[in-house]
Structure 1
Amino acid sequence: MAKRITGRCFCGAVQFQFDEPPLVARACWCRDCQYLSSGNASVGAIFRTETFTTTGEVREYYSTADSGAAMRRRFCPKCGTPLFSEDLSLPDFMVVRAGALDDPELSRPQSTIWTASAPSWGFVDPELPSCGGHPAPAGKT
């Protein structure tokens, strides 16, 4: 049996789990992620949605990413923790913000994306593969 992956928002009102490990984890420097992570790169783990379950109320915000993708972003309405992002054209996958995972080691970045949008002071790990813009979708690489 696969290890259950769990997480929650800061206040604990929203809890979630997956029954499979993430496909990949990435650090992202796109401007949207900089806003969502208070100016730094955002680290996200990409999971298949088929085993995803959640409890608690979430709110949604829809936007268009720099890549042109229609995005649904979900967060806790009580504490504001950003939790999930989904490209609406790829319903089988979701990005979970690394800080929301109970085991943050699961989201160690394997690459860095949107490096062209990083500020001059932003750290881009030279040991990781990087992409200046939008990469191929995780499930299609």
Structure 2
Amino acid sequence: MAERSGRCLCGAVSYHFTGEPIAARVCWCKDCQHIASNGTVNAVVDTDSLTINGELSEFISVAESGNQIRRRFCPTCGSHLFANSSARPQYTVVRIGTLDDPSSISPTMNIWTKSAPAWACFDENLPLIEGQAPPPKVVEK
């Protein structure tokens, strides 16, 4: 079974998860643009497969969908690491750029492209979804 690890910029927070992501996407929503000044590249993983070491700070807001989004980040360096939606607490979004090997997961689509700036660069091989993608289809274990 695949295992991946990552950390924040200063190393105060580290994590690992097992298994393959349920989805991997580039998100262009306004919130992600505020976090990264660009789109964010995210892997959706089973929350139960994720182990986090270190203290996190969090910020909770309401998304355009009406769901509460809990974003967690390192209180020392500010690296944004994780997000959870009240609609799907069984999944955690992991920012792929924080992985020790970010090339180990490739995004499969761009979402919220209607919010992307005119200068956004899209991979021509990935589908463009104007809003939120439908929930990933998960095969029961």
Report the TM range for the smaller structure's normalisation. Answer: over 0.9
Q: What is the deviation of 1:110?
A: 0.5
- State the partner residue of 1:136: 134
Q: What is the deviation of 1:140?
A: 5.9
Give the alignment of 1:12-91 within 5 angstroms: 12-38=11-37, 40-91=38-89
- Give the % identical residues: 45
Instruction: State the distance in 2 between where 1:69 and 1:42 align.
Output: 19
Q: What is the deviation of 1:66?
A: 2.0
Name segments (4+ residues, structure 1) moved above 6 Å: none
Instruction: State the distance in 2 between where 1:107 and 1:113 align.
Output: 17
Instruction: State the distance in 2 between where 1:113 and 1:17 align.
Output: 25
Structure 1 residues without counterparts, runs of 5 or longer: none
Q: Normalising to structure 2: TM-score of the pair?
A: 0.93
Instruction: State the distance in 2 between where 1:47 and 1:87 align.
Output: 12
Say whether the 8 Å CA contact 1:43–1:107 is kept in structure 2. Answer: no
Say whether the 8 Å CA contact 1:44–1:107 is kept in structure 2. Answer: no
- State the partner residue of 1:110: 108
Say whether the 8 Å CA contact 1:22–1:106 is kept in structure 2. Answer: no
Q: Normalising to structure 1: TM-score of the pair?
A: 0.93
Question: What is the RMSD of the two structures over their aligned residues, measured on CA atoms?
Answer: 1.5
Say whether the 8 Å CA contact 1:27–1:42 is kept in structure 2. Answer: yes
C-alpha distance after superposition, 1:64-103 (max 9, x if no partner): 1122221000000000000001101211101101111111
Q: Which has the higher mean CA deviation after the structures are superposed, 104-113 or 55-64?
A: 104-113
Instruction: State the distance in 1 between where 2:28 and 2:111 align.
Output: 6
Q: Any idea what SS the aligned residue of 2:66 has?
A: coil
- AA at the equivalent of 2:129: C
| Equivalent residue for 1:95, pick from 93, 96, 100 | 93
Structure 2 residues without counterparts, runs of 5 or longer: none
